[in-house]
Structure 1
Amino acid sequence: MRVNRRLMLQAAGVAVALPMLIATAASAAPLRIAAIVQSLNTEYNVLWADAAKEHPALADGTATLTILDGRQDVLTQSNLFDTAITEKYDAIIFIPVDIDAGNEPLERARKAGIPVFGSNTVVSKTELYDAYINSNDVEAGEMLAKAVIDKAGDDAKIVILEGMIGQSAQVQRFQGIQNVLAGKPNVTVLGQNTANWSRAEAITLMENFLTANGDQIKGVLAENDEMAVGAIEGIRNYGLAPGSVPVAGVDGIKDALEAVKRGDQLMSILQDAKGQSQGAIDLALNKLIDGYKPRAAVWDANGGSLAWNEGKEQHYYVPWLAVTSANVDHVLSAH
């Protein structure tokens, strides 16, 4: 459903001729958006959802937003698509659990006439989206690998903590890591395994890496900050001082930023949850409302750095921010 609010207001002004249309315009129901996220047990998804709920279009009644928890399970997400289709939502925002498994439910929504907008992680068939907004995960992998290797040395022995296998962030961040390692032939990967984005699993995995390799490990590449913080705890549990082994992660969650401030974590790559979530809502409303003006702060139209270009692009990249000891206080003050 696409709404031309300008025409509705013009029609409403013809009070004598069209009294019924006036009433219709005045009582137009809010557009209904469903956001199907990966899991509300992860801090980034919670940050994403909280930021989305603060979009100005929700406050003024232009739209409503329902957050649906995928519980890190592809079948649950598929069933939530059925729910959104049955309940005839006007648009869906999708953060898929799996890069391939998310294609089929997205196709079902499109066949039902419901536009779908990507945010954060993506499906492999990105052409199915009406539009999507995320950050370049290959670039994030490159950034964290360079930071750790620059600190640990070009002949360092490192370990890699991967996210849930098959998610686009895991696939693309690992590609970025591989891009850097290809140019660093003397760097040795002593261990590589998934901790499924989980802090608890990362503690155990890091302890196992240390038990097998001891103080040979000179750097840790964690594909997200939950695992980075877990790796730091594993280092502490093993009896080493946090900060003695360089650790970098991605997302900019508060605990990671505090670890950067303490010197326990080398770097956190801040992922703009507000830009991605509110940007996705703007893309959905731009599809549904003629003449829509974006309202998220991320867009250049509102003083941000991301070019809106009248909402005509299919893909938008929100920039990363490398958080180090040099800028962590400023980032924390705005967190």
Structure 2
Amino acid sequence: MIKRRLFIFGIAIAVAGGIFGGYHMVQSKESTEPQVIRVGITMYNQYDPFTEEIRHNIEDYLAEYGTEKDIEVDSTVVYSGKNQLVQNDQVIDFIEKNYDVICVNLVDRTDPSVIIEAAKSADVPIIFFNRELVEDDLKRFNKLYYVGARPEDSGKIQGEIVIDALNERFDEIDVNGDGIIQYVLLEGEAGHQDAILRSRVSVETIKAAGYEMEMLGDEIANWDRKQAQTKMTSMLAGYPRQIELVLANDDNMALGALDALTEFGVQTYPLIVGVNGQEEVLLDISEGKIEGTALNNAKEKGRIIAELSMGIAIDGRPPEDIQMEDGKYYYVPYECIDSTNVLEYTNSQ
């Protein structure tokens, strides 16, 4: 009887040990599993080379961060096809699937209300980027952030590129010799803050240097190369030899203008300046076809957005080494690229 009791007691101890040992093993296994951070990214359009470059950099830096910190980063990219209603649904879907942070390249910078209210209700942080929403909207929830660049700075750089060229070879650029620079504008989107400020500041900067200017045309080309080519071709039909300067709000449209000029058979190209620093434009600058551009640093924007996402998702706040203005804004500075320094940038591509 005693032996039987000892046998049963031994079995009980073994079973208990197995249970608790198994529990300990499960606990140990769970404790070694990597942390998972889920980042949703919604883009206004998949056909914009510049915003696509930012998107690639966000994903690359998220992956790099995860590897360095032994964190599993699950990033998902969706496109809204320039439809704000679609983008609203995409953000709500990310929220319902418990994403930790959502990065939004807004379709309509004046209409973020649905996104903001959904994020606020669910207490989910949003990082808007490259299409700046109205300041009052960003104040509506304490977990809203913006990463971009100051558009007026890009306009100033464009103006300075033109001024340097005029200072060096005014007589060559002033084809008709009237002492006035005849120019055309290729603007991004109607009502878009970047388009408005770049256009205004670039012209004001040139005029402030003492040069007279006459606008021959102002066309909306929606950051699109083909649209810019069509609009430029139309302006060339009206002014086949009078256009001496093309101020394009971005490099896509600068390339579209160059396409139109080439197809039109213009003998002497006007000055062309853009914004963003796309690789093809850098080549054209080195060949003297485009005067210059203001680098909108897509790589640095991607890095900041990725690190900001991780800091907010893990610690609930931006990393200490990312200095946010007013706790909400981060502006990546523009850089001037022209014939004097373009090789520095082409060699780093």
Q: What per-residue deviation string (whole Å, max 9, x for no partner) do you get for residues 220-267 of structure 1?
A: 00000000001011111221147x200000111111111111111000
1:113 to 123, 138, 143: 123
Match of 2:284 in 1: 259
Could you tell me how far 1:175 is from its partner in structure 2? 4.1
Partner of 1:134: 148
The answer to whether 1:61 aligns with 2:62 is no
Question: How many angstroms apart in 1 are the aligned matches of 2:85 and 2:24?
Answer: 49
On the 8 A contact 1:99/1:166 being kept in 2, the answer is no
**C-alpha separation in 2, matches of 1:211 and 1:310:** 48
Report which stretch shifted further, 107-116 or 127-136.
127-136
In the alignment, the residues of structure 1 paired with residue 123 and residue 235 of structure 2 have an alpha-carbon distance, to the nearest angstrom, of 49
Retained in 2: the 8 A contact 1:35–1:67?
yes
Q: Which residue of 1 aligns with 2:99?
A: 89
Structure 1 residue aligned with 2:196, among 171, 183, 190? 171
Aligned length: 308
- Matching of residue 40 in structure 1 with residue 46 in structure 2: yes
Q: Is the 8 A contact 2:127 2:146 kept in 1?
A: yes
Residue 292 of structure 1: how far off its partner (Å): 8.6
- The residue correspondences of 1:12-23 to structure 2 (distance < 5 A) are 22-23=28-29
2:116 and 2:211 map into 1 onto residues whose CA distance is 41
Q: 1:57 to 1:213 in 2, by over 3 A?
A: same
What one-letter code is carried by the residue in structure 2 that aligns with 1:211?
A: A
**Structure 2: runs of 5+ lacking an equivalent:** 1-22, 171-178
- Equivalent of 1:209 in 228, 235, 239: 235
Q: Which moved more, 1:83-92 or 1:256-265?
A: 83-92
Aligned to 2:186: 161
Equivalents in 2 of 1:258, 1:181: separation in Å? 25
Counterpart of 1:321?
Answer: 335
**Aligned residue identity for 1:130:** L
User: Could you tell me whether the CA contact under 8 Å between 1:149 and 1:219 is conserved in 2?
Assistant: no
Cα pair distance change 1:310/1:97, threshold 3 Å:
closer
Conservation of the 8 A alpha-carbon contact between 1:58 and 1:64: no
Provide Cα deviations, 1:262-314, integer angstroms capped at 9, x if missing partner: 111000211111111220121122122239996xxxxxx9xxxxx62499832
Is contact 1:95-1:118 (8 Å) kept?
yes
My pick for the range that moved more, 68-77 or 179-188, is 179-188
Any conservation in 2 of the 1:223–1:250 contact (CA below 8 Å)? yes
TM superposition score normalised by structure 1: 0.82
Q: Which residue of 2 aligns with 1:200?
A: 226
Q: 2:308 aligns with which of 272, 275, 283?
A: 283
TM-score by length of 2: 0.79
Identity of paired residues, percent? 22
Q: Distance in 2 between matches of 1:24 and 1:241?
A: 71
Any stretches of 5+ residues in structure 1 without a counterpart? Answer: 1-16, 295-300, 302-306
Relative distance call for 1:222 and 1:312 in structure 2 (3 A) is: closer
Q: Which amino acid aligns with 2:100?
A: D
Tell me whether 179-188 or 115-124 shows the greater mean CA deviation.
179-188
SS at match of 1:326: coil
What letter matches 1:126 in structure 2?
Answer: L
Any conservation in 1 of the 2:181–2:214 contact (CA below 8 Å)? Answer: yes
Q: Give the RMSD, CA atoms, in angstroms.
A: 2.8
Structure 2 SS opposite 1:214 = coil
Distance in 2 separating the partners of 1:167 and 1:88: 32
